[in-house]
Amino acid sequence: MLTNASKIRLDPRVQVVIDMDGYGPPGAKMGAYRWFVVRHPVQYTGWKLFYKNDKPLMTPQQVLELYPKPMYIQYQ
């Protein structure tokens, strides 16, 4: 969990990525993404997929259709 998010300050020397981490069905993950990312916009967004725990695993196309589109995608 990201605490004190309001204290994050942009710095031209740093690119901050907020990576949505958590496993489960796509609907639950997308709901959390909307809650944390859409409501509290950040400079760069990320999305994490778990090969074993995400059932069903979202396709690359599904991930790229998220809004805002993740700039960083991680598979674990």
Q: What is the 3-state secondary structure (H, E, C) of the chain?
A: CCCCHHHCCCECCECCEEEECCCCCHHHHHHHHHHHHHCCCCCEEEEEECCCCCCCCCCHHHHHCCCCCCCEEEEC
Share of the chain above pLDDT 70, in %: 97
Mean pLDDT score, 41-55: 89
The confidence score (pLDDT) of residue 57 equals 95
Please report where in the chains the tokens 């690359």 appear, as a residue.
Answer: 60
Band of pLDDT at residue 65, cut at 50, 70 and 90: very high
Q: In the predicted model, what is the mean pLDDT of the chain?
A: 88
Question: For residue 16, is pLDDT > 90?
Answer: no
